[in-house]
Amino acid sequence: MIISCLFIKDTTQKGRGIFTNEAIDADTIIEMAPVIVMPKNDRVYLDKTLLHDYIFEWGDDEEQSCIGLGMISIYNHSYHSNCDYFMDYEEQTMIIKTVRSIIAWEEITINYNGDWNNGKKMWFDVK
């Protein structure tokens, strides 16, 4: 399930991203999508490919990884994102939900740290 106002667009600095052409209320589920779960041993191979930038750690112990279907893996990162994501390990799905109201034409972002306002530096910001 993806709400109909979402679309993919190129950004100037982050490659492709997800945007909305309509305002979206706070606490709205905007996407629910299945994931493909990969075992711990596959991570070694994934980290050597472009897919490294699109996978999520998975499971209570975060030893597995997954790639989200739908638009899940295209949402860009922000340390103060306008959405949060939730993982359902049993159903093997991810949900994207707004944490505040979003205006039309705004980019939809998630915090790759797993908490919408977590400021821990990501691997691509560590210098």
Contact 58/43 with Cβ under 8 angstroms?
no
DSSP string, 69-91: TTTGGGPEE-TT-SEEEEEETTT
Per-domain residue ranges for the chain? Answer: 6-110
Read off the pLDDT of residues 28-69 as tens digits, 9 standing for 90 and up.
999 999 999 999 999 889 888 888 888 999 999 989 999 999
Rounded to two decimals, the pTM is 0.86
CATH annotation of 6-110: 2.170.270.10
pLDDT, greater one: 62 or 6? 6
- Say yes or no to pLDDT of 79 above 70: yes
pLDDT, greater one: 14 or 126? 14
Q: Check residue 75 and give its pLDDT.
A: 96
Read off the pLDDT of residues 85-120 as tens digits, 9 standing for 90 and up.
999 999 999 999 999 999 999 999 998 876 656 555
